Structure 1
Amino acid sequence: MVYWIFNAMDSVSKRLWDYGGSKKLLTQLLDEEQQRELEREQELEEERQQKRPPSVRPYEPQLHNEIKALCDMHGPMLNLSKLTSVFCPIADAFLGTTLYRECQPHCWQQNLWITDEFKRVIQTYRESLDPFLRPARWILIYRNEHIIFVSPFEANWLMGRLHDLYRKQSPGELFTTTLRLLLLRTRRDQSIIVNTTTLKIPPSIGPDRGAVTFPIPIEWLVAFFIFNGTLYFETTDEQAAYCRCLGVCPKPRTEIEEDAIEKCWITVDGFVKKSEHRDLLQLQQCRFHANPLAFDRKLVENRNNTHAPLISHVVIQYYHFSFEQKVKSLGFTSNLNT
């Protein structure tokens, strides 16, 4: 009996040896696997280190007297084009980035501005400013004629000053200068707040108090959408105006547009280059001379810190997909349910 037990144990041991190998071999394999895992983790960490922006020094914030003068409701209107040390055309926000050469600086609306403080972010002269492009969150509507993007530091002062003027406001004295928050629409059914009358500073809450009711025209809004890298639209009118501003001819197409494709008036991504062709295709509101879609896509990626595949970008998607398909898609589409 004992002999049978030892014989069985030898048989089991032999099978374990045949199938499992030596303990030393298993340990060696485990060590090699751990080493490979450590090497993979080290490679990932090196990639993360490479993607991090360089160490930089931020600019010290400044509040110029010209910014304070924007709150003067009774004095003469400032000539922003002559105050170049404080106010800059909106395209100057891309100076020092790889986007500036593609943004077509002279094609933006003349009443869109940024402050020098908005433009100044970090102290550097060699590094690309792509990772430090300031988000566009606060705008000042100046006398209901000019749009000025301001920094959070400036917005904080303007907020307090305009609120103080609102508290001291005389009956029937309506303001035409307001500070507004502009949110990036990253989800469907999300408000961007900029036209919410009660959330302006000062608010529009009555016929004889606060600010004059001034909804921002859609032609100005689409410039915000481009500059802010928006992902969604609230209405089909916004989406159509966005495409007209970029000079894109989307689907579904009319017979005239189909004929224009055969004549090569419309490029493969939907852009219409020549002005005479835009007139025939009702794209007179296009502001760009050259195709802006590559710039627009890069700006969407920068603003949202994400990759925008060509077929899922909102403009390209408008071009490639039918109206119903865009509503059902999960990519960068507009919200058409409101």
Structure 2
Amino acid sequence: MRKLGKHHWLSFWSSNEVHQQIQTMKKNSVSPNEKENIDNRITLTDILRWVYENTQQTTWDGLHLWATQSLSFQRKITAFRNINWKEQGTLYTNTTMENIARECLEDEVLELKSMYGVSKMFQTIFDIYSVRSKHSNICSSVEIHEAVSKRLWDYGGSKKLLTQLLDEEQQRELEREQELEEERQQKRPPSVHPYEPHLHDEIKALCDMHGPMLNLSKLTSVFCPIADAFLGTTFYRESQPHCWQQNLWITDEFKRVIQTHGESLDPFLRPARWILIYRNKHIIFVSPFEANWLMGRLHDLYRKQSPGELFTTTLRLLLPRTKPDQSIIANTPTLTIPPSIAPDCGTVLFPIPTEWLVALFIFNGTLYFETTDEQTAYCHCLGVCPKPRTDIEEEAFEKGWITVDGFVKKPDHRDILQLQQCRFHANPLAFIRKLMENRNNTHVSLISHVGSILINGVKRMVSVKRKAYEQTSFSAEKKLRKL
């Protein structure tokens, strides 16, 4: 890591077991009073501490076997010491070779009495080696014996091992038995209690098609800005709450999931599935409980509607596009509630503008785009300029306007590169990546459109075909404008 240069970075990948070990080590390193305010994010310091602790434990675990092997090595030195290797006329008789083999031979068959007959007791590795050396009565190199003793004294410490005069294979057998006999209790997070669902009167008022339009910004007890969905999570500050569109909302019921007592809400982030298009001006994410009531109410109004009456408030299912060519359903006219079909005009769907849609894609964890326009708007929203780049963009990259991951920070540089629609002041790519992993419960795939932009800074090819229902919706919108 000391050789890392500018724009170089490291990525650490680990199993869930390693993740749990690091989290446990981090919690144990702080005082009980500070555990409530501990940040659950794993930093480089936590990883290095885990590596250090594991290296220390591995070194200690291998000391006993290393000492046992040194005794075997010393015994072989003693066996070969009786032969004069420098004298050329030395005869290697059968008796000589048999004596060497007998003195170097180690037991292959161990009696149960020798394995389990000795009472168990705790001893330090240094004491085990000293007793074993005296028991073996090995008279070999004093230098080797002293060097091994010093190493065991320096690294063995006061930690004790449950063993006594054991060979290497016996030691391994007992270690396995200890692991089976040891009762390991992993501290699990405390149980949580869900909030009781509640339907506000303001939610019911959203279905009123003829009354005055609600001022959502003043109904703060029911409607919240979309970034408030991240309150209580580890990435709320990174979400840059004031940078999202002003017409994107969540309900208080959508935000409330569990009764928290300081726990991180990362695992309890509610999936973004149901949206209410309010008067074709606002998009409100609602909970399934609220969506169930709105669905029934809007169906009743649809059956009682007057001829020629058009609905500007619709409930829609919004699916994250986690596979190529997958429908998000939100722009399907027959699947909105009520259906966006008029007897005289045909389809009268209000298509969600692409600038709004890409913000919804960020929020719900979409990984693939349907058109190049969606991908371009997505990059503009994030303020990134990924590869392949134009000549002007390459020149800007050489000047340092564009970072390695593609982000353009300064507003005047964004104007030149036609990124005026960027919503974020600081680089949002790390936050978007965490959000995608949280939404999809997996690492972002490099072969996905979004994953390629976030990780590699490269735009992948996207199909430009438009579906038939979208063509119908736009033609119907033109008819309505003429009327």
Same fold at TM > 0.5? yes
Matching residue of 2:354: 218
Q: Could you report, residue by residue, the CA deviation over 1:253-298 in whole angstroms, capped at 9, with x for unpaired residues?
A: 1111111111110111100011111111111110111111111011
1:179-205 Cα deviation digits (max 9, x unpaired) = 000112221221111101100000012
For residues 206-285 of structure 1, the aligned pairs below 5 Å read 206-208=342-344, 212-285=348-421
Could you report, residue by residue, the CA deviation over 1:133-187 in whole angstroms, capped at 9, with x for unpaired residues?
1110000000000000000000000000001111111111111000000112221
Picking from 216, 222, 227, the partner of 1:80 is: 216
Deviations 1:3-39 (A, max 9, x none): xxxxxxxxxxxxxxx9973574999879558548758
What are the Cα deviations for residues 286-324 of structure 1, in whole angstroms up to 9, with x where unaligned?
Answer: 011111111101101111111237x6675562374665x
- Does the 8 Å contact 2:331/2:349 carry over to 1? no
- Match of residue 247, structure 2, among 108, 111, 114: 111
User: Which SS does the other structure have where 1:257 is aligned?
Assistant: helix
| Residues 261, 316 of structure 1: alpha-carbon distance in 2 compared, 3 angstrom cutoff | farther
Provide the residue aligned with 1:13 in structure 2. none
Instruction: State the secondary structure of the residue aligned to 2:328.
Output: coil
Report the counterpart of residue 318 of structure 1 in structure 2.
453
Q: 1:176 maps to which residue?
A: 312
The reply on whether 1:164 has 2:300 as its aligned counterpart is yes
Tell me the residue number matched to 2:232: 96
| More RCO (CA 8 Å, sep 6+) | 1
The answer to whether residue 396 in structure 2 is matched with residue 308 in structure 1 is no
Determine if contact 1:202/1:210 at 8 Å carries over to the other structure.
Answer: no
Q: Deviations over 1:211-245 (max 9, x none)?
A: 84201011011000111121111122211111110
Cα root mean square deviation, aligned: 2.9
**C-alpha spacing 1:174/1:260, structure 2 compared with 1 (3 Å):** same
CA 1:37/1:191 → structure 2, altered by over 3 Å: closer, same or farther? farther
Structure 2: runs of 5+ lacking an equivalent: 1-105, 117-168, 467-483
- Deviation, structure 1 residue 125: 3.1
Contact 1:178 1:202 in 2 (8 A): yes
| One-letter identity of the residue aligned with 2:109 | G
| Cα distance in 2, alignment partners of residues 335 and 228 from structure 1 | 21
| Structure 1 portions without partners, runs of 5+ | 1-17, 328-333
1:4 is matched with: none
Q: Tell whether 2:228 aligns with 1:140.
A: no
Partners of 2:266 and 2:294 in 1: how far apart? 28
- Aligned residue for 1:148, secondary structure, equals strand
Find the residue that maps to 2:245 and give its secondary structure: coil
Decide whether the 8 Å contact of 2:386 with 2:405 is kept in 1: no
Is the Cα–Cα contact under 8 Å of residues 308 and 342 in structure 2 kept in the other structure?
A: no
> CA separation in 1, counterparts of 2:403 and 2:174?
55
Q: Per the alignment, in what secondary structure is the counterpart of residue 123 of structure 1? A: coil
SS at match of 1:156: helix
Greater Cα radius of gyration, structure 1 or 2: 2
Q: Distance in 2 between matches of 1:284 and 1:230?
A: 23
State whether structure 2 residue 109 is matched by structure 1 residue 21. Answer: yes
Answer yes or no: is the 8 Å Cα contact 1:174–1:209 preserved in 2: no
Give the counterpart of 2:197 among 26, 48, 61: 61
Query: Using a 3 Å threshold, how does the CA distance of structure 1 residues 35 and 86 change in structure 2: closer, same or farther?
Result: same
Amino acid paired to 2:318 = L
Does structure 1 residue 152 correspond to structure 2 residue 288?
A: yes
Change (3 A) 1:143 1:32: same
Looking at structure 2, the residues matched to 272 and 254 of structure 1 have their Cα atoms a distance apart, in angstroms, of: 15
Comparing 27-36 with 55-64, greater Cα deviation is found at 27-36
In the alignment of these two chains, the number of paired residues is 306
TM-score of the superposition, structure 1-length normalised? 0.81
- C-alpha distance 169-283 of structure 1, shift in aligned 2 (>3 A): same
CA distance change for structure 1 residues 210 and 33 in 2, over 3 Å: closer, same or farther?
A: farther
- The amino acid across from 1:94 in the alignment is F
Match for residue 48 of structure 2?
A: none
Mapped partners of 1:72, 1:250: distance in 2: 45
